[in-house]
Structure 1
Amino acid sequence: MGIECQIKDKIAEIVFDVPPVNAFDSHTWMSLPDIITSTARNEDVNCILIRAEGRGFCGGVDIKEMQAHPERITVLNRGNYLTFKAIRDAEIPVVSAVHKFVIGGGIGICGASDTIIAADDAYFSLPEVDRGAMGGASHLSRMLPLHKVRAAFFTGGNIPAEEAYRLGAVEKVVPRDELEAQARAFCAIIAAKSRKALVIAKEALNGLEPRDVDRGYRWEQGFTLEMYMHEDSQKSRDEFVETGRAAKF
């Protein structure tokens, strides 16, 4: 269990297996950038597939850690930022294959990726407003239109995979039991191409983007820190850990 990486047929699979919900603590987030960057630099790898075992793709950050150790927010912020940046800056294409919940930091991983394959039970959510935090909208904005992002952020609501597909964020929606096979098949098409061509294409496509997602996320993180210093932030985390619900204000 933990974060594992396996390479086969020029495809590297980075697999999350952190029970119970793949919600990562600050140490885990800080370990991910090196895993992603070193894998992308491996000359035997032409495509990276990020997927997960367990109940869902990624539950974001470990709220229990932040409840007990709010002073670790700067370490967590840095781990998030470096992880998402490593995915976007990876020399080769990165594909995320997601199932069930894609929450908080899971949005950052998907938003930084080049392509998303989703199981039919997947949904995307940024519940930060209800967790006493901020962040994630910069990467969700790579996936969805502005007003959809704002509606999701203000309400903390869920965006089903089919809706994300309709809006162009998801490449394809597949039955849950076919997710791994379909994602590997998609990655195999990429992996069969020239690594040099893929590296050049990735750099070119990143340079063509009209906005700097990394700078945007850093802007957001300033507000994350500001929120964490407010008493409402601790109240939100306490309520979520104790009851699983959003606090009332």
Structure 2
Amino acid sequence: MSSGVEFVKDGHVARVTLDNPKALNAIDPRMDDALFAAWTEVNDDPDVWVAILSATAGKAFCAGADVSGGTDRDGRMALGGGLTGVGGPQLTLRKPLIAAVHGYVIGGGFELAMCADVIVAADDSQFFIPEVRAGIIGEAGIMHRAIRQLPHHVALAMVLTGDRLPAAKAEQYGLVNEVVPVAELAAAADRWAAKITASSPLAVQAAKDAVLRGLGGSLESALSTRYEPIEAYAGTKDQLEGVAAFAEKRKPVWTGR
């Protein structure tokens, strides 16, 4: 029986694909378990330097949680394998994550996309938060993320009205990094992955950790905090390779060690 999630390691890139098109790629409990396993493997495998999250072609990237079959084994809605923190403990993905979205990016699917570090959107993408139109309100994770990643009034208007945000506007507001034709979505995500893997994976991971942890407090606090992954990077093979490559005026060869 299919898990509804495809997971493939392609060189230094982990490809995670939502594959539940009949339900608009909504995430059911078995998919949630498969996503948790995928994120755990991405974190644990030193040869994985970046992950790409996409979905099977169709009308939607993801329609959020699939509640047609009920809730998960703990009685909660499944959503994102821990990335969103909805329905259970939040899982921190240490490696960079690229979301390649298309079509409807709805509710919890929108929230899952916002968990990525880079978002590439097909030009048919539409982002929306439909909860209030359906007369429901959940754990509100999507709202807290939207108000942090979009201009204040844009986010509140989406939350209060359920109006859709088309891809072009999402790019204008800085929600997505790039908008491309549908046929070019996979190639665009691969280009971003290539940009990221051109740098030292350990340095990239340390930078991501510092940036996101520093957001939790003031600038003064962020500047005075010691970040363990940055300190641990000193003396690694990659750090020494970077110094040597600069001195020798050549491209560095990273190992992630």
Q: Name structure 2 gaps, 5 residues minimum.
A: 218-257
Residue 62 of structure 2 aligns to a residue whose secondary structure is: coil
Deviation at 1:71, TM superposition (A): 9.2
Letter in 1 for 2:14: A
In 2 relative to 1, CA 182–148 (structure 1 residues): closer, same or farther, beyond 3 Å? Answer: same
In 1, Cα distance between the equivalents of 2:214 and 2:73? 35
Unaligned runs of 5+ in 1: 212-249
- Structure 1 runs (4+) deviating above 3 angstroms are 69-74, 85-88
Task: Please tell me whether the aligned partners of residues 47 and 93 of structure 1 are also in contact (alpha carbons under 8 angstroms).
Answer: yes
| 1:114 paired to 2:120 | no
- Which residue does 2:197 correspond to in 1? 191
1:244 maps to none
CA deviations 1:153-199 (Å, max 9, x no partner) are: 11111100110100111101011100001110111110122111011
Aligned positions of 1:114-153 closer than 5 A: 114-131=117-134, 132-134=136-138, 135=140, 136-153=142-159
SS in 2 for 1:181: helix
Deviations 1:113-148 (A, max 9, x none): 111000110011111113323321122233212221
CA contact (8 A) 1:47 1:187 kept: yes
Partner of 1:29: 32
Partner residue of 2:211 out of 181, 191, 205: 205
1:87 Cα deviation from its structure 2 partner: 8.6
What is residue 76 of structure 1 aligned with on the other side?
Answer: 77
Q: Is the contact made by 1:5 and 1:15 (CA closer than 8 Å) also made in structure 2?
A: yes
Shift in CA distance, 94/71, structure 1 to aligned 2, threshold 3 Å: closer
The answer on 1:179 being equivalent to 2:185 is yes
What fraction of aligned residue pairs are identical, expressed as a percent?
31
Rounded to whole Å, the distance in 2 between the matches of 1:150 and 1:46 is 35
The 1:147/1:88 distance shift into structure 2, 3 A limit, reads farther
Residue equivalent to 2:61: 57
Over aligned residue pairs, what C-alpha RMSD do you find? 2.3
Cα distance, 1:52 vs structure 2: 0.8
Whether contact under 8 Å (1:123, 1:160) holds in the other structure is yes
Relative to total residues, which structure has the larger helix share, 1 or 2?
Answer: 1
Residue 199 to residue 167, structure 1, CA distance change in 2 (3 Å) = same
Aligned partners of 2:72 and 2:82: how far apart in 1?
A: 19
**Partner of 2:16 in structure 1?**
14
Report the 3-state secondary structure (helix = DSSP H, G, I; strand = E; otherwise coil) of the residue aligned with 1:186: helix
How many angstroms does 1:73 deviate by? 8.4
- The one-letter amino acid paired with 1:53 is T
Task: Say whether the 8 Å CA contact 2:34–2:81 is kept in structure 1.
Answer: no
**1:65-104 residue pairs with structure 2 within 5 A?**
65=69, 69=70, 74-76=75-77, 79-80=79-80, 82-85=82-85, 89-104=92-107
The number of aligned residues is: 207
Equivalent residue letter for 1:49: I
- Structure showing greater radius of gyration is 2
Classify 1:113/1:71 alpha carbon distance in 2 versus 1 (closer, same or farther; 3 Å): closer
Q: TM-score, normalised by structure 2?
A: 0.73
Structure 1 stretch 139-148 or stretch 190-199: which is displaced more?
139-148
1:38 corresponds to: 41
Q: Which structure would you say has the larger RCO, counting Cα contacts within 8 Å and 6 or more residues apart?
A: 1
